Amino acid sequence: MAGVGQTLIKVSDALRRKTAAAGAIQTMMLDGLLPMFQSIRTRLRAALASLRAPASVHRVAAAPLPTEYGQFRIYVYENHTETHVALVRGEVGNGEAVLTRVHSTCLTGDVFHSTRCDCGEQLEAALRRIAAAGRGVVVYLDQEGRGIGLANKIRAYTLQDEGYDTVEANVRLGFEPDLRDYGIGVQILRDLGVRSIRLLSNNPRKLASVTKHGLPVVEMVPLEIDASEISRRYLRTKKEKLGHRLSVV
């Protein structure tokens, strides 16, 4: 029995030494791989940042545009995937403190006058106020449905009818609550000679995005629309979950 015990001790010692050696090798391998993993992570972060960065846009057309609100000039901008528009009232002049609405496309609200949201009414109110001021810009950005696209926006409508609010519906579809970025809008405004703006908006995130991209905002001008029975929940969600500055709900 003593011989068996000695044998077991030797086997145990050998296993411990083997395990220790394997652990040391594993540690050395991990130490060697760590810089590679860190390099890959750095490159991935850079790639993701470049994807989020706004693509450059180029002015491709311009013409006078008479509207029911008054005379504007329309400018069209394109990149490889999107088309954006700017409406300019009067002369930008020195480019300082230009009354500006940066508006994201809302086909259902802007064109079909859906009462689910206040988008169309905000656009019309902005055009009236800029026309009355005699000087200003509306930038109309191609980022439908808070950036998720038209088809997904309509899918979100179905979820909203099942009881989800606009934020919950976007998240349930696998998106962030708001994917919009206003860097392209800043590019367009700079191309038009705008150097600082009075921003027609209730959205602090829009203010933060515009200033992040280097355009000074000298004033945030409220643009509130009265709540209807249908839009009340939508506006409350904007206020409570997205931080919009609203007094109508």
Query: 214-223: which pairs have CB atoms within 8 A and are 24 or more residues apart?
Result: 214/186, 215/186, 215/189, 215/190, 218/96, 218/97, 219/97, 220/245, 221/99, 223/101, 223/122, 223/125, 223/126
Task: Tell me how far CA of residue 118 lies from CA of 84, 223, 227, in angstroms.
Answer: 21, 10, 8
Residue 160: phi and psi, rounded to 5, are -65, -35
H helices present in the chain, as ranges: 2-52, 119-133, 150-161, 166-172, 183-191, 204-212, 232-242
Indicate the helix (H) or strand (E) that contains 66.
strand 58-67
Catalytic residues: 178, 180
Q: Which of 143, 133, 131 is nearest to 65 (CA)?
A: 131
Tell me the pairing of strands 58-67 and 70-78. Answer: antiparallel
Query: 132-135: which pairs have CB atoms within 8 A and are 24 or more residues apart?
Result: 133/89, 133/99, 134/89, 134/90, 135/89, 135/90, 135/91, 135/92, 135/93, 135/98, 135/99
